[in-house]
A and B are shown apart, each in its own frame.
Chain A
Amino acid sequence: MTTNNIAIQAVELTKRFGDFTAVDAISFEVKKGEIFGFLGANGAGKTTAMRMLCGLSIPSSGKAAVAGFDVYKQTEQIKRSIGYMSQKFSLYEDLTVKENIRFYAGIYGKSDAFIKEKTAFLLKELRLEAEASKLVRSLPLGWKQKLAFSVAIFHEPEIVFLDEPTGGVDPVTRREFWNMIYQAAESGITIFVTTHYMDEAEYCNRVSIMVDGRIDALDTPAALKRKFEARSMDEVFLKLARKAKRSGD
């Protein structure tokens, strides 16, 4: 099913809970190495869609392939091919920096030699060598989030899903975080990211906006602004999300 340069392909992907349609026949493609922004108001269906793409929830209907694997039948292969990080949960606070890396890399079946070499490189890159044996709990939030991202791509996945990775992070660290995203994308990793910061939507190659379970807009930030005659992505988002009938999460 692998089509060379497509990382994610969804066709009429749908999820119903009883008579509630959380995700309503969404179709889109994400190219390899692309930074894809997945936006939407609370309750629009982003989390449900993301869970299906990560192989954690079986769709009600429609088709989707992630890293070439089918979201119905090949969920284990999908999980092996992706990385995941969210604002709410990412690292174990009661493990040290090094233990967290070791733990995640171990889960993905990486060899001891690989882990050892890459851990040293990573700690140096993040300038966390002095903190390697400290509990993650004691790190400032910004460091935690940068470490969490590094851990999420440690096993060199094809795609990484980032669920509001920068919520509550200071503006300087937020930009350092996006710098890491750019580097990862340049190394060929596909980035699938959600955010409530509309300036970050501008950093994406393309952006989709979900409203009431459907994708109402999908294009580059520049094209979206032209189409909706808006000066910023914030305006585009407000114009679309104000139409929403559903509310809350």
Chain B
Amino acid sequence: MASVTVNNITKHYGKKKELTQALRGVSFTVEQGELFGIIGPDGAGKTSLFRILTTLLLPDAGAASVDGLDVVKDFKAIRQRVGYMPGRFSLYQDLTIEENLEFFATIFNTSVSENYDLIKDIYSQIEPFKKRRAGKLSGGMKQKLALCCALIHKPSVLFLDEPTTGVDAVSRKEFWEMLRNLKKQGISILVSTPYMDEASMCDRVALIQNGSILSVDSPEGVIASFKQPLVAVKDRNMLPLLNHLQAFEGTQDVYPFGEYHHVVLKDGYSAAEVSTYLQHQHAQAEVQPVRADIEDCFIALMKSA
């Protein structure tokens, strides 16, 4: 049985004049035990989708199920089974670490000791501070506590809405390692993020933009679907290089990509033609064919949408 099914869900906010279409017919399925990423910028519809799946918001149309239960009819049963970590820190700031955890365990009619195994690895990192109030914790510690509270009733599906937003590169890597470990315990995990590079940590991803899904596939599958030849070009002076590459007849698209510019080539062109084109004005330029990454795919999908 699929863990989560989403079938043609739509959702809008506001009235005629200031109408915002948050979700425009979104469909996908998440398998049992899968680590599934929903990747897209702010305003793409990620939070609306999570709120619908956690039964906090009603869709306008379409159907969705979690653990085989309908998100509208069976909302009470779903609430017993899912763990939800919202984008904004929403634990009780005036309670200590320990009190927050006990509070959430009690609400779900369980105890901290009953499911301690599940959170042990994460909780042990903040346990030395268990008497500290949640409001006084650092960003990284808050994040770990929120994850523990979302896990304490041993949910079958875990929803994490942008857990790594505004978190530095080191803490982000650590957080994903925690998720990989949780996955081993058989929990299905849906996690949303605006960081394209986090796609590679997921089993499968849905790329989302403007309320529509651009692609659902494994990270490798998304990359394999990028068919155009792609080259990376570098020179001492990057700004004139960008302008020259834009003027090249074989260029379909060109954009800065870290220390390189990425040039998406039209069919039939390759790195060799780019080198020849650049040999006068950019004799020192380094040109090499590269494999697309998720961000290249996202840009291509956005532009063709």
Interface locus among B24-32, B60-68, B136-144: B136-144
A249 touches B139 (CB 8 A): yes
A247 touches B140 (CB 8 A): yes
CA distance A168 to B40 in the complex (A): 8
* Nearest-neighbor residue (CB-CB) of A170 within chain B: B41
Interface bits B266-305 vs A (CB < 8 Å: 1, else 0): 0000000000000000000000000000010011001100
* Nearest-neighbor residue (CB-CB) of B137 within chain A: A248
* Nearest-neighbor residue (CB-CB) of B20 within chain A: A138
* Nearest-neighbor residue (CB-CB) of A168 within chain B: B42
Residues of A within 8 A of B295 (CB): 171
Interface locus among A1-9, A25-33, A197-205: A197-205
Is there a chain B Cβ closer than 8 Å to A141's Cβ? yes
* Nearest-neighbor residue (CB-CB) of A241 within chain B: B170
B42 touches A42 (CB 8 A): no
Residues of B within 8 A of A222 (CB): 259
B41 touches A247 (CB 8 A): no
B173 touches A238 (CB 8 A): yes
Residues of A within 8 A of B195 (CB): 197
Interface bits A225-249 vs B (CB < 8 Å: 1, else 0): 0000000111001100110100111
Is there a chain B Cβ closer than 8 Å to A118's Cβ? no
Task: Please pick, from A164, A178, A182, A248, the residue contacting B140 in the complex, using a CB distance under 8 A.
Answer: A248
Residues of A within 8 A of B299 (CB): 171-172
* Nearest-neighbor residue (CB-CB) of A242 within chain B: B170
CA distance A197 to B255 in the complex (A): 16
Is there a chain B Cβ closer than 8 Å to A62's Cβ? no
Residues of B within 8 A of A141 (CB): 41-43
Known interface pairs A138-B18, A170-B302, A182-B239; A42-B165 also in contact (CB < 8 Å)? no
B141 touches A247 (CB 8 A): yes
* Nearest-neighbor residue (CB-CB) of A137 within chain B: B18
CA distance A123 to B42 in the complex (A): 23
B258 touches A202 (CB 8 A): yes
B interface SS class: mixed
Q: Chain A interface residue count: which class?
A: 35 or more
CA distance A199 to B41 in the complex (A): 16
Residues of B within 8 A of A40 (CB): 168
* Nearest-neighbor residue (CB-CB) of B296 within chain A: A171
Residues of A within 8 A of B225 (CB): none
Q: Which of A106-143 contact B (CB under 8 A)?
A: 138, 140-142
Known interface pairs A42-B139, A175-B255, A221-B259; A168-B165 also in contact (CB < 8 Å)? yes
Q: Which of A10-65 contact B (CB under 8 A)?
A: 40-43
Residue from B18, B196, B239, B259 whose CB has the most chain A CB atoms within 10 Å: B259
CA distance A126 to B144 in the complex (A): 41
B41 touches A42 (CB 8 A): no
Tell me the smallest distance from the CB of B246 to a CB of chain A, in Å.
12
Is there a chain B Cβ closer than 8 Å to A167's Cβ? yes
Residues of B within 8 A of A138 (CB): 18
Known interface pairs A167-B165, A178-B256, A249-B139; A42-B303 also in contact (CB < 8 Å)? no
B168 touches A196 (CB 8 A): yes
Is there a chain B Cβ closer than 8 Å to A169's Cβ? yes
Residues of B within 8 A of A169 (CB): 41-42, 194
* Nearest-neighbor residue (CB-CB) of B170 within chain A: A241
Chain A residues near B (Cβ < 8 Å)? 40-43, 138, 140-142, 164, 167-173, 175, 178, 182, 196-199, 202-203, 221-222, 232-234, 237-238, 241-242, 244, 247-249
- Could you write out 16 A-B pairs with CB less than 8 Å apart? A42-B138, A141-B42, A169-B42, A169-B194, A170-B40, A170-B298, A170-B302, A175-B255, A182-B239, A198-B169, A198-B258, A199-B258, A203-B256, A238-B170, A241-B169, A248-B139
